[in-house]
Each structure stands twice: as structure tokens, then as C-alpha cells.
Structure 1
């Protein structure tokens, strides 16, 4: 296996609250430069860049250079895997909530 480029697991990428906030910020706009993203956190650009690199390895963000500026954009496609996985549990809990509701209504 070529270790030069490995795709990071999307679940690992979204496990960190900082990365989830980055995803949220990018979801709310078309594209953002690094300096605007970094301004939303109590950490430096280097730390934010490392989080963005992990998101990029999971294919959750893309970037492009415009002169000296790097702009980031969300790629929501890998999040479909998470949605599909969670949908099973959503169905499970909805069924349990309905069962509880019917039991409570009987009493």
C-alpha cells in the first residue's frame, strides 16, 4: 500500500469538536479563506491548518490557492456515509419512543 496518500476515516475526522465547527462554518458559506476560518478559534492558523488537513484527508474539504491565499470549501459527499449509519439508530430510537408513548397512553 502506498503510504504517500491515505484516505482518513470520515468518523475520525468528525470526532473532534474543532473539525465539526470547521465543517459547520464551511457549510454556511460557499468558500472561506484560512484567515477567516482561523479567526473563529482561539488557536493559530497553523493549528487550524492541521485540522483542515485532516478534513481534507477524509475528503470532507477541498482547497484552492488564489495567490498567497488558500480557500476552503466543504465536500459533503462523505457525510452521507455518516447519515446512512445514523439512520439505523434514528429508526431504532423512534420505534422505542413510539412504544413508550403507547405504553404511557395506555396507563
Structure 2
């Protein structure tokens, strides 16, 4: 399995649904471009607060059998998420949300 994380930094404050739609279009164009070059084959969930901006699969979950990725594709990620959970807990503790 190949896990790729693409850090996204927004240089401006998003306001309103029009900005979210524009962001969705721009991100989808980028990922579709990478997909067409066989450089991207993953699932993406991009959200802001409670608004889902993108929830989509790109290319194949299984290339050999031509099984496409969808928003519901399940991946065997095992223990890889533990470090992210630990970091999220530390951030919440630092921001005094938990003790």
C-alpha cells in the first residue's frame, strides 16, 4: 500500500459556499490531472468544519482486477493511524480541550 499525504495550506480565509466550490473545483482539477498521468490513485476526503468539499476515489484500488477507488473503498492501514491519533490528542491537550 502506498500512503501519500499532500499538505494543503490555504493562503487566504475561505468565506462562503462559493469559495468552497471554487476550492473543490481547483483540487479536483489537480487530482484529475495527476490521475491522468498515472501519478495519483487514492481516495480523498476534504472538508471544512461540517461541510464536505470532496469525497471521491481516483483511479484503481486494485489495478490488476481494475477495481476502482470510491469514497467507500476500505484500505488495510493497520497501525499507521496511531501516530496521527497521538498527535491529534497532543494538539487537543495543548489547546486545553482535554486534560
Scaled by the length of structure 1, the TM-score of the pair is: 0.32
Of Structure 1 and Structure 2, the greater strand share is in 2
Scaled by the length of structure 2, the TM-score of the pair is: 0.34
Highest CA radius of gyration, 1 or 2? 1
